[in-house]
Amino acid sequence: MTRRDPQFVIATPPFAKRAVDTPAIMRHVIYALVPVMIAAVYFFGVSALLLIAVCTGTCMLLEWLLTGRGNLGNSPVRDGSAAVTGILLALTLPPGLPLWMAALGSAVAIVFGKLLFGGLGQNVFNPSLTGRAFLQACFPVALTTWSPQGGLGAFLEMRGDTLALPLLRPVFDGISAATPLARMKFESEPTDLGALLFGTIPGSLGETSAILILLGGAYLGWRRFLNWRIPVGIFATVYLFASALNMIDPGRFTDGLHHLLSGGLVLGAVFMATDPVSSPVTPRGMWLFACGIGVLVILIREFGGLPEGVMYAILLMNAATPLIDRITQPGIYGAVDHRAGRGD
Protein backbone atom coordinates (compact mmCIF):
# COMPACT_ATOMS: atom_id res chain seq x y z
CA MET A 1 0.00 0.00 0.00
CA THR A 2 1.49 3.31 -0.99
CA ARG A 3 1.97 6.08 1.50
CA ARG A 4 0.27 9.41 1.02
CA ASP A 5 2.02 11.20 -1.76
CA PRO A 6 3.56 14.40 -0.32
CA GLN A 7 3.19 16.02 -3.72
CA PHE A 8 -0.52 16.42 -3.10
CA VAL A 9 -1.87 19.10 -0.85
CA ILE A 10 -4.77 18.64 1.52
CA ALA A 11 -7.47 21.06 0.48
CA THR A 12 -11.19 21.06 -0.15
CA PRO A 13 -13.25 22.09 -3.16
CA PRO A 14 -14.28 24.29 -4.82
CA PHE A 15 -11.03 24.73 -6.70
CA ALA A 16 -12.47 27.30 -9.05
CA LYS A 17 -12.42 30.83 -7.75
CA ARG A 18 -13.54 34.20 -9.03
CA ALA A 19 -10.44 36.36 -9.39
CA VAL A 20 -11.76 39.42 -7.55
CA ASP A 21 -10.92 39.67 -3.85
CA THR A 22 -11.77 42.22 -1.19
CA PRO A 23 -8.62 44.37 -1.64
CA ALA A 24 -9.37 44.45 -5.37
CA ILE A 25 -12.87 45.77 -4.68
CA MET A 26 -11.41 48.49 -2.45
CA ARG A 27 -8.90 49.37 -5.15
CA HIS A 28 -11.65 49.75 -7.70
CA VAL A 29 -13.67 51.96 -5.37
CA ILE A 30 -10.61 54.19 -5.11
CA TYR A 31 -10.20 54.21 -8.92
CA ALA A 32 -13.82 55.24 -9.25
CA LEU A 33 -13.18 58.10 -6.84
CA VAL A 34 -10.12 59.41 -8.65
CA PRO A 35 -12.06 61.63 -11.11
CA VAL A 36 -14.07 63.04 -8.21
CA MET A 37 -10.87 63.83 -6.34
CA ILE A 38 -9.33 65.45 -9.41
CA ALA A 39 -12.43 67.63 -9.82
CA ALA A 40 -12.25 68.61 -6.16
CA VAL A 41 -8.65 69.67 -6.54
CA TYR A 42 -9.48 71.54 -9.74
CA PHE A 43 -12.31 73.42 -8.04
CA PHE A 44 -10.76 74.00 -4.66
CA GLY A 45 -7.03 73.87 -5.26
CA VAL A 46 -4.33 72.80 -2.85
CA SER A 47 -6.68 72.94 0.14
CA ALA A 48 -8.64 70.05 -1.29
CA LEU A 49 -5.48 68.11 -2.01
CA LEU A 50 -4.27 68.59 1.55
CA LEU A 51 -7.63 67.59 3.01
CA ILE A 52 -7.71 64.33 1.06
CA ALA A 53 -4.11 63.56 1.96
CA VAL A 54 -4.58 64.28 5.65
CA CYS A 55 -7.80 62.26 5.99
CA THR A 56 -6.52 59.26 4.05
CA GLY A 57 -3.16 59.34 5.77
CA THR A 58 -4.64 59.60 9.25
CA CYS A 59 -7.03 56.70 8.68
CA MET A 60 -4.36 54.43 7.29
CA LEU A 61 -1.74 55.34 9.84
CA LEU A 62 -4.06 54.81 12.79
CA GLU A 63 -5.33 51.48 11.51
CA TRP A 64 -1.80 50.31 11.00
CA LEU A 65 -0.65 51.49 14.43
CA LEU A 66 -3.63 50.06 16.27
CA THR A 67 -3.89 46.66 14.56
CA GLY A 68 -0.74 45.60 12.77
CA ARG A 69 1.68 45.69 15.70
CA GLY A 70 4.09 47.33 13.34
CA ASN A 71 4.11 44.47 10.86
CA LEU A 72 2.99 45.93 7.56
CA GLY A 73 3.02 42.54 5.83
CA ASN A 74 -0.24 41.35 7.30
CA SER A 75 -1.78 44.53 8.63
CA PRO A 76 -5.44 44.97 7.74
CA VAL A 77 -4.49 48.39 6.39
CA ARG A 78 -3.37 46.55 3.26
CA ASP A 79 -6.93 45.66 2.33
CA GLY A 80 -7.51 49.30 1.37
CA SER A 81 -10.69 49.85 3.32
CA ALA A 82 -9.09 52.46 5.61
CA ALA A 83 -7.98 54.43 2.57
CA VAL A 84 -11.54 54.37 1.23
CA THR A 85 -12.83 55.63 4.58
CA GLY A 86 -10.36 58.51 4.55
CA ILE A 87 -11.06 59.57 0.98
CA LEU A 88 -14.81 59.45 1.47
CA LEU A 89 -14.60 61.47 4.67
CA ALA A 90 -12.51 64.12 2.93
CA LEU A 91 -15.05 64.36 0.14
CA THR A 92 -17.77 65.30 2.63
CA LEU A 93 -15.80 68.17 4.15
CA PRO A 94 -15.86 71.83 3.17
CA PRO A 95 -12.69 72.83 1.32
CA GLY A 96 -11.53 75.40 3.82
CA LEU A 97 -11.74 73.18 6.88
CA PRO A 98 -8.66 73.40 9.12
CA LEU A 99 -6.53 70.31 8.58
CA TRP A 100 -6.31 69.51 12.28
CA MET A 101 -10.07 69.15 12.38
CA ALA A 102 -9.92 66.83 9.38
CA ALA A 103 -7.31 64.71 11.13
CA LEU A 104 -9.41 64.57 14.28
CA GLY A 105 -12.47 63.56 12.29
CA SER A 106 -10.49 60.85 10.53
CA ALA A 107 -9.29 59.48 13.85
CA VAL A 108 -12.85 59.29 15.10
CA ALA A 109 -13.93 57.65 11.84
CA ILE A 110 -11.36 54.89 11.97
CA VAL A 111 -11.22 54.31 15.73
CA PHE A 112 -14.84 54.79 16.79
CA GLY A 113 -16.39 54.10 13.43
CA LYS A 114 -14.52 50.90 12.67
CA LEU A 115 -11.84 49.52 14.95
CA LEU A 116 -13.83 49.58 18.18
CA PHE A 117 -16.53 47.51 16.49
CA GLY A 118 -13.93 44.88 15.62
CA GLY A 119 -12.54 46.13 12.34
CA LEU A 120 -13.56 45.56 8.77
CA GLY A 121 -16.99 44.04 8.37
CA GLN A 122 -18.05 44.53 11.98
CA ASN A 123 -19.08 48.18 12.16
CA VAL A 124 -22.73 49.15 12.30
CA PHE A 125 -22.31 52.69 10.98
CA ASN A 126 -20.48 53.93 7.95
CA PRO A 127 -17.09 55.00 9.38
CA SER A 128 -16.69 58.10 7.18
CA LEU A 129 -20.07 59.40 8.17
CA THR A 130 -19.34 58.61 11.81
CA GLY A 131 -16.33 60.90 11.55
CA ARG A 132 -18.31 63.54 9.73
CA ALA A 133 -21.12 63.46 12.28
CA PHE A 134 -18.58 63.96 15.04
CA LEU A 135 -17.08 66.99 13.31
CA GLN A 136 -20.50 68.41 12.61
CA ALA A 137 -21.36 68.17 16.28
CA CYS A 138 -18.11 69.71 17.48
CA PHE A 139 -17.51 72.37 14.87
CA PRO A 140 -20.85 73.28 13.36
CA VAL A 141 -19.64 76.61 12.03
CA ALA A 142 -16.47 75.32 10.39
CA LEU A 143 -18.43 72.47 8.81
CA THR A 144 -20.86 74.82 7.17
CA THR A 145 -18.47 77.46 5.94
CA TRP A 146 -18.22 76.99 2.24
CA SER A 147 -15.53 78.57 0.15
CA PRO A 148 -16.33 79.59 -3.39
CA GLN A 149 -14.65 77.81 -6.23
CA GLY A 150 -11.67 78.91 -8.23
CA GLY A 151 -10.22 77.32 -11.33
CA LEU A 152 -6.69 76.14 -11.87
CA GLY A 153 -5.47 79.71 -11.62
CA ALA A 154 -6.31 79.75 -7.93
CA PHE A 155 -4.68 76.39 -7.26
CA LEU A 156 -2.20 77.56 -4.71
CA GLU A 157 -4.61 79.81 -2.90
CA MET A 158 -5.53 78.38 0.50
CA ARG A 159 -9.25 78.36 1.17
CA GLY A 160 -10.64 79.30 4.53
CA ASP A 161 -8.49 78.19 7.41
CA THR A 162 -6.68 75.19 6.05
CA LEU A 163 -3.59 75.76 8.11
CA ALA A 164 -5.21 77.05 11.30
CA LEU A 165 -3.58 75.72 14.44
CA PRO A 166 -5.46 73.21 16.59
CA LEU A 167 -7.97 74.59 19.03
CA LEU A 168 -7.25 78.19 18.14
CA ARG A 169 -10.51 79.76 17.21
CA PRO A 170 -10.37 79.94 13.47
CA VAL A 171 -11.00 83.32 11.94
CA PHE A 172 -13.44 82.77 9.15
CA ASP A 173 -12.73 85.16 6.39
CA GLY A 174 -15.44 86.91 4.51
CA ILE A 175 -15.43 84.94 1.32
CA SER A 176 -17.84 82.20 2.26
CA ALA A 177 -20.63 81.27 -0.07
CA ALA A 178 -24.00 79.61 0.39
CA THR A 179 -24.60 76.09 -0.92
CA PRO A 180 -27.47 75.51 -3.32
CA LEU A 181 -29.51 73.76 -0.63
CA ALA A 182 -29.00 76.61 1.82
CA ARG A 183 -29.92 79.11 -0.82
CA MET A 184 -33.03 77.15 -1.56
CA LYS A 185 -33.96 76.65 2.03
CA PHE A 186 -33.22 80.05 3.44
CA GLU A 187 -33.53 82.28 0.40
CA SER A 188 -35.87 80.22 -1.78
CA GLU A 189 -33.52 80.74 -4.65
CA PRO A 190 -32.92 77.72 -6.90
CA THR A 191 -29.62 76.98 -8.58
CA ASP A 192 -29.25 76.21 -12.26
CA LEU A 193 -29.48 72.41 -12.75
CA GLY A 194 -26.58 72.37 -15.19
CA ALA A 195 -24.34 73.94 -12.58
CA LEU A 196 -25.44 71.24 -10.12
CA LEU A 197 -24.69 68.47 -12.58
CA PHE A 198 -21.21 69.65 -13.43
CA GLY A 199 -20.37 70.86 -9.99
CA THR A 200 -19.65 74.53 -10.57
CA ILE A 201 -21.17 75.36 -7.20
CA PRO A 202 -19.99 75.91 -3.64
CA GLY A 203 -20.13 72.84 -1.42
CA SER A 204 -18.03 70.13 0.14
CA LEU A 205 -15.18 68.58 -1.80
CA GLY A 206 -17.14 65.77 -3.34
CA GLU A 207 -20.68 66.95 -3.40
CA THR A 208 -20.09 69.32 -6.24
CA SER A 209 -19.65 67.10 -9.28
CA ALA A 210 -22.68 64.87 -9.60
CA ILE A 211 -21.79 63.67 -13.05
CA LEU A 212 -18.36 62.33 -12.07
CA ILE A 213 -19.77 60.57 -9.04
CA LEU A 214 -22.47 58.97 -11.17
CA LEU A 215 -19.88 57.83 -13.69
CA GLY A 216 -17.77 56.29 -10.95
CA GLY A 217 -20.85 54.61 -9.52
CA ALA A 218 -21.91 53.32 -12.92
CA TYR A 219 -18.48 51.78 -13.38
CA LEU A 220 -18.61 50.08 -9.98
CA GLY A 221 -22.16 48.91 -10.56
CA TRP A 222 -21.23 47.51 -13.94
CA ARG A 223 -18.28 45.61 -12.44
CA ARG A 224 -20.64 44.52 -9.65
CA PHE A 225 -18.48 46.11 -6.99
CA LEU A 226 -21.42 47.99 -5.61
CA ASN A 227 -25.03 47.06 -5.48
CA TRP A 228 -27.09 49.07 -7.94
CA ARG A 229 -30.29 48.55 -5.96
CA ILE A 230 -29.32 51.03 -3.26
CA PRO A 231 -28.53 54.17 -5.33
CA VAL A 232 -31.40 53.44 -7.71
CA GLY A 233 -33.77 53.01 -4.79
CA ILE A 234 -32.61 56.22 -3.12
CA PHE A 235 -32.84 58.31 -6.29
CA ALA A 236 -36.28 56.95 -7.12
CA THR A 237 -37.62 57.58 -3.62
CA VAL A 238 -36.18 61.07 -3.35
CA TYR A 239 -37.46 62.04 -6.78
CA LEU A 240 -40.94 60.65 -6.29
CA PHE A 241 -41.39 61.92 -2.74
CA ALA A 242 -40.04 65.38 -3.54
CA SER A 243 -42.08 65.63 -6.73
CA ALA A 244 -45.23 64.66 -4.87
CA LEU A 245 -44.63 67.37 -2.27
CA ASN A 246 -43.75 69.84 -5.00
CA MET A 247 -47.02 69.06 -6.75
CA ILE A 248 -48.97 69.76 -3.58
CA ASP A 249 -47.33 73.10 -2.91
CA PRO A 250 -44.79 74.26 -5.51
CA GLY A 251 -44.21 77.48 -3.63
CA ARG A 252 -43.08 75.74 -0.49
CA PHE A 253 -41.36 72.55 -1.68
CA THR A 254 -38.39 72.19 -4.00
CA ASP A 255 -38.83 70.05 -7.09
CA GLY A 256 -37.51 66.50 -7.36
CA LEU A 257 -34.68 67.10 -9.80
CA HIS A 258 -33.23 69.89 -7.72
CA HIS A 259 -33.26 67.60 -4.69
CA LEU A 260 -31.60 64.81 -6.60
CA LEU A 261 -28.64 66.84 -7.74
CA SER A 262 -27.94 69.03 -4.77
CA GLY A 263 -26.18 68.52 -1.51
CA GLY A 264 -24.48 65.28 -0.64
CA LEU A 265 -27.23 63.15 -2.11
CA VAL A 266 -25.39 61.78 -5.12
CA LEU A 267 -22.17 61.16 -3.20
CA GLY A 268 -24.12 59.66 -0.30
CA ALA A 269 -26.32 57.44 -2.43
CA VAL A 270 -23.51 56.15 -4.63
CA PHE A 271 -20.60 55.83 -2.25
CA MET A 272 -21.85 55.97 1.36
CA ALA A 273 -25.15 54.15 1.44
CA THR A 274 -23.66 51.39 -0.70
CA ASP A 275 -20.94 50.67 1.84
CA PRO A 276 -21.66 46.94 1.98
CA VAL A 277 -20.69 46.52 5.61
CA SER A 278 -23.29 48.92 6.96
CA SER A 279 -26.09 48.19 4.48
CA PRO A 280 -28.35 45.13 4.22
CA VAL A 281 -27.34 42.01 2.28
CA THR A 282 -30.76 40.79 1.21
CA PRO A 283 -32.25 42.13 -2.02
CA ARG A 284 -35.51 43.20 -0.40
CA GLY A 285 -33.57 44.64 2.50
CA MET A 286 -31.59 46.82 0.12
CA TRP A 287 -34.77 48.25 -1.38
CA LEU A 288 -36.19 48.93 2.06
CA PHE A 289 -32.95 50.55 3.20
CA ALA A 290 -32.82 52.75 0.09
CA CYS A 291 -36.44 53.86 0.43
CA GLY A 292 -35.85 54.66 4.08
CA ILE A 293 -32.90 56.88 3.23
CA GLY A 294 -34.83 58.64 0.46
CA VAL A 295 -37.79 59.41 2.68
CA LEU A 296 -35.61 60.60 5.57
CA VAL A 297 -33.56 62.87 3.32
CA ILE A 298 -36.64 64.70 2.09
CA LEU A 299 -38.20 64.86 5.54
CA ILE A 300 -35.06 66.41 7.00
CA ARG A 301 -34.49 68.76 4.10
CA GLU A 302 -38.08 69.97 3.84
CA PHE A 303 -39.34 69.79 7.38
CA GLY A 304 -36.23 69.76 9.57
CA GLY A 305 -34.11 72.65 10.70
CA LEU A 306 -31.09 71.70 8.60
CA PRO A 307 -30.59 72.34 4.92
CA GLU A 308 -29.00 68.89 4.43
CA GLY A 309 -30.00 65.48 5.76
CA VAL A 310 -28.19 62.81 3.74
CA MET A 311 -25.68 62.03 6.46
CA TYR A 312 -28.27 61.55 9.19
CA ALA A 313 -30.56 59.62 6.88
CA ILE A 314 -27.84 57.12 6.06
CA LEU A 315 -26.65 56.80 9.67
CA LEU A 316 -30.21 56.18 10.86
CA MET A 317 -30.76 53.49 8.26
CA ASN A 318 -27.36 51.98 9.13
CA ALA A 319 -28.72 51.49 12.62
CA ALA A 320 -31.78 49.75 11.21
CA THR A 321 -29.75 47.41 9.00
CA PRO A 322 -29.50 44.37 11.32
CA LEU A 323 -33.25 44.47 11.81
CA ILE A 324 -33.91 44.92 8.10
CA ASP A 325 -31.70 41.95 7.30
CA ARG A 326 -33.51 39.80 9.80
CA ILE A 327 -36.98 40.52 8.49
CA THR A 328 -36.13 40.30 4.80
CA GLN A 329 -34.55 36.87 4.51
CA PRO A 330 -35.22 35.67 0.97
CA GLY A 331 -37.72 32.87 0.42
CA ILE A 332 -35.60 29.85 -0.44
CA TYR A 333 -35.93 27.57 -3.44
CA GLY A 334 -38.75 25.17 -2.76
CA ALA A 335 -39.88 27.09 0.30
CA VAL A 336 -43.06 25.55 1.57
CA ASP A 337 -44.19 29.00 2.64
CA HIS A 338 -44.15 31.23 -0.41
CA ARG A 339 -45.08 34.43 1.35
CA ALA A 340 -41.44 35.30 1.82
CA GLY A 341 -40.64 36.95 -1.49
CA ARG A 342 -37.24 37.25 -3.07
CA GLY A 343 -37.30 40.88 -4.05
CA ASP A 344 -35.02 40.72 -7.05
Partner 1 sequence: MTQARTFRHGIHPAEHKALTAGRLIERIAFPDEVILPLAQHIGAPSRPLAKPGDKVYRGQIIAAEGGFVSVPLHASVTGTVSAIAKHHHPNGSLADAFVIEVEQNSPQTLYDEHATDWEEMPPSALIEHIQRGGFVGLGGAAFPTHVKLAIPEGKHARWLLINGCECEPYLTSDHRIMLEWADSIFLGVRVLARILGAEKSFIAVETNKWDAIKTLVSRIPADLACELVPLETKYPQGAEKMLIKAVLDQEVPSGKLPIDVHVVVQNVGTVAGIGDFFAFGQPLIERVVTVTGPAIRRPTTLLVPIGTRLSNILEHCGGLTEDAREILFGGPMMGTPQQFLDVPILKGTSGIVCLTEEQVKSRQEYPCIRCAACLDACPIFLNPSALGSLARTARYDEMMDYNIMDCMECGSCSYVCPSNIPLVQRFRVAKGVLREKQARGKAA
Neighbours of 277 (CB within 10 A): 18
State which residue, 120 or 238, has the beta carbon closest to partner 1. Answer: 120
> What's phi and psi for 210, nearest 5 deg?
-55, -40
Neighbours of 333 (CB within 10 A): 6
Q: How far is the CB of 133 from partner 1 (least distance, A)?
A: 21
State which residue, 304 or 330, has the beta carbon closest to partner 1. Answer: 330
Q: How far is the CB of 76 from partner 1 (least distance, A)?
A: 8
Closest by alpha carbon to 43, among 124, 143, 145, 155? 155
State which residue, 261 or 269, has the beta carbon closest to partner 1. Answer: 269
Q: How far is the CB of 212 from partner 1 (least distance, A)?
A: 24
State which residue, 79 or 308, has the beta carbon closest to partner 1. Answer: 79
- Can you tell me the distance from the alpha carbon of 304 to that of 254, in angstroms, rounded to the nearest whole number? 14
DSSP 147: P
State which residue, 57 or 330, has the beta carbon closest to partner 1. Answer: 330
Ramachandran class of 119: left when φ > 0, alpha when ψ lies in -120 to 50, beta otherwise: left
Q: How far is the CB of 286 from partner 1 (least distance, A)?
A: 8
Q: How far is the CB of 88 from partner 1 (least distance, A)?
A: 15
- Can you tell me the distance from the alpha carbon of 146 to that of 179, in angstroms, rounded to the nearest whole number? 7
State which residue, 35 or 330, has the beta carbon closest to partner 1. Answer: 330
**Residues at the interface with partner 1 (CB under 8 A):** 1-2, 4-5, 7-18, 20-25, 79, 81, 119-122, 224, 227, 276-277, 279, 281-283, 286, 325, 329-336, 342, 344
Neighbours of 221 (CB within 10 A): 20
Q: How far is the CB of 10 from partner 1 (least distance, A)?
A: 7
- Can you tell me the distance from the alpha carbon of 41 to that of 35, in angstroms, rounded to the nearest whole number? 10
Residue 243 Cα distances to 116, 250, 253, 260, 313, angstroms: 41, 9, 9, 11, 19
State which residue, 59 or 245, has the beta carbon closest to partner 1. Answer: 59
Q: How far is the CB of 279 from partner 1 (least distance, A)?
A: 7
- Angle among Cα 323, 326, 331 to the nearest 5 degrees reads 145
State which residue, 4 or 69, has the beta carbon closest to partner 1. Answer: 4
DSSP 169: P
- Can you tell me the distance from the alpha carbon of 189 to that of 167, in angstroms, rounded to the nearest whole number? 35
Across the strands, what pairs with 146?
177
Q: How far is the CB of 84 from partner 1 (least distance, A)?
A: 11
